Chains A and B, each alone.
Chain A
Amino acid sequence: MNSPGVQRLNGAVHPGRWLMPVVWLLLLMLAVWAMPLVEPALRWFSPDARQVIYQRAAFSTLLWRHVLTVGVAAAVTVSVGIAAGIAVTRPWGRDFLPLVSQCAALGQTFPPVAVLALAVPALGFGALPIVVALVLYGLLPIVRNTLAGLQGVDAGVVSAAQGMGMTGRQRLYRVELPLAAPVILAGVRTSITINIATAALGATVGASNLGDPIIAGIVNGNTAYIVQGAVIIALLALSVDSLFDVWQRQLARR
């Protein structure tokens, strides 16, 4: 069944789609490795500062730690969030649906700063409290979209899948999840993009990441530091977001 038609439908994404991710990633790389090039411009933000380029740690190191923090949190939110969404839409888990959606909503109404304040005494300083805060904060969009995606699958299609003799698991993996995927992916995208920004708070509790220049800038009154941290975080968020955009478009074309 390998006719040209298949290749046309499932083939490579149009190269133009990759334009934005490539642009944002290039700008991110430039910001990380070539910040000294714009030193004169940064000098304008903090004319009196002794130095205007943040140098306590390399930006590449901070970027790596930032990505790691968000990545670990995302791995937890995505697996827990999607698993919870699936569980409460199965016949045996339906009773827990209100509980789970309320818990997820509660997690997001709780400000991450407050979570940090509560988590530090229990978990100590470092990366762990911020990961906990990000997980709680990022769960809602994923749970909500997983539920919306699965409940949005046409009842006739699910009934047909059952009538064809698919087991519950086959129905889930072959029909429900593929059809819900675009909606679930949109939730993952929101969750991760928000958390890239929120992760900067980790710098206040000793989790070194791209929040460091921002906090240092606030403490020392060095606006240039704040600008550097903010710009790199923004570029990271835009890069990741545009990558998700390409992925979503690819899913939507099916």
Chain B
Amino acid sequence: MIELHNVSKIFGDALAVDEISFSVPKGKFCALVGTSGCGKSTTLRMINRLTEHSSGDIILDGQAVGAYNPVQLRRRIGYVIQDTGLFPHWNVARNIGTVPRLLKWPASQIRGRVEELMQFLDLPSAEFAHKYPHQLSGGQAQRVGVARALAADPDILLMDEPFGALDPITREKLQSMLAKLQARLHKTVVLVTHDMDEALRLADHLVVMREGKIVQQGSPLALLQKPENGFVDSLLGGLERGLKQASLSRVRAHMTPLGPTLPAQSRIPDTYTLRQALSVMLRDHCERLTVVDKHDVPVGELSLRKLVKEAHAQPGERA
């Protein structure tokens, strides 16, 4: 559990972070979103005390961060940064084992943990354990960065634009890896990003920042349905908001039982998002789709007309 109450940070006479408050319950994923220089990275660094806050309270598991020894505090918080910050003179295995070694785990336990994490992050140990960071691709290096952050099994994970320097395809892959990882590990995560799609995709709670202040915070759906002002709206993609919202919900939640009419020709799996379903409708020129489960058995149907009506009839329900 991370709580920030009226936290400010002053550098010289510049106010970098201005009286912000938000909290991340245990096991939840929070994204700090905003343009560069809005104070989101500073906010993140105040949580593990790489930057000391000027006023307000930052509380971790019920205790003010100032009460922890900074070194001990950082060892129990995973930290991932954009340019990976991997130690270039250590091989992958040694990099991943950094924090366990600082915590003086027995060598055999460190070895086991490193093996486990490499397998978990799809880095075959035989191939990668002895490589050095300069021998890795950007995506591989950042997976090592994530593994290193997770090594001592911290409850909290802080990620500072972890995928910002990667090409779109690799970024997409690592995002889904992170989503899978979070579904399994339930860490308390704070992610800093300027990529709204990344935030919408991964986070349970979004905090939109601008010039050191919080402009709006809430669940992805809440923000998409009711952006506070033009800034949030433009971050959310303006006119594309409808589609982004559609990409947040699954076909399964919107399908209707199979009716007496002939089933539609086009079939989609029930795990698709509404956005993907709409795309299939446009591609196949049809208003109705047959929804099938993973055994390809029809379980329902999706109708464009009903979807549009539903969105019109219950605008408040999903807020």
Contacts and interface: CB of A to CB of B under 8 A. Distances in A.
Contacts of A162: 50, 74
B87 A163 contact: no
Interface of B: 48, 50, 71-76, 79, 81-89, 91, 93, 98-99, 102, 111, 126, 129-130, 132, 148
Given A162-B50, A162-B74, A1 B99 contact: no
A16 interface: no
A163 B48 contact: yes
A161 B50 contact: no
B87 A175 contact: yes
Contact of B79 (A3, A164, A170): A164
A176 to B, nearest CB: 11
A165 B102 contact: yes
Contacts of B88: 154, 157, 179
Given A163-B79, A164-B99, A165-B102, A254 B87 contact: no
B125 to A, nearest CB: 9
A1 B71 contact: no
A179 B99 CA distance: 19
A90 B69 CA distance: 20
Given A164-B148, A167-B71, A170-B102, A156 B111 contact: no
B79 A9 contact: no
Contacts of A175: 87, 89
Contacts of A3: 126, 129-130
Contacts of A167: 71
Interface of A: 1, 3, 5-6, 9, 154, 156-157, 159-167, 170, 175, 178-179, 254
Contacts of A9: 91, 130, 132
Contacts of B89: 175, 178-179, 254
Contact of A157 (B75, B79, B85, B130): B85
Q: Is the interface of A mostly helix, strand, loop or mixed?
A: helix
Nearest to B130: A5
A170 B101 CA distance: 11
B85 A165 contact: no
B93 A165 contact: no
A247 B175 CA distance: 43
Given A156-B85, A159-B85, A165 B129 contact: no
A165 B71 contact: yes
A159 B81 contact: yes
Given A1-B111, A159-B50, A165-B72, 16 more contacts: A3-B126, A3-B130, A5-B129, A154-B83, A156-B82, A157-B85, A157-B87, A159-B85, A160-B84, A160-B87, A161-B85, A161-B87, A162-B74, A165-B71, A165-B74, A170-B102
Nearest to A174: B87
Q: Give the top 4 A-B pairs by smallest Cβ distance, nearest first.
A: A160-B85, A165-B75, A165-B74, A5-B130
Contact of B85 (A163, A178, A254): A163
Nearest to B129: A1
Given A157-B85, A179-B88, A164 B98 contact: yes
A181 to B, nearest CB: 9
The CB with the most chain B CB atoms within 10 A, among A3, A162, A170, is that of: A162
A214 to B, nearest CB: 43
Contacts of A165: 71-76, 99, 102
A163 B73 CA distance: 10
Contacts of B102: 164-166, 170
Nearest to A3: B130
B164 to A, nearest CB: 13
25 contacts: A1-B130, A3-B130, A5-B130, A6-B130, A9-B130, A154-B85, A154-B88, A156-B84, A159-B81, A160-B84, A160-B85, A161-B85, A162-B74, A163-B79, A164-B102, A165-B71, A165-B72, A165-B73, A165-B74, A166-B71, A166-B102, A175-B87, A175-B89, A178-B89, A179-B89
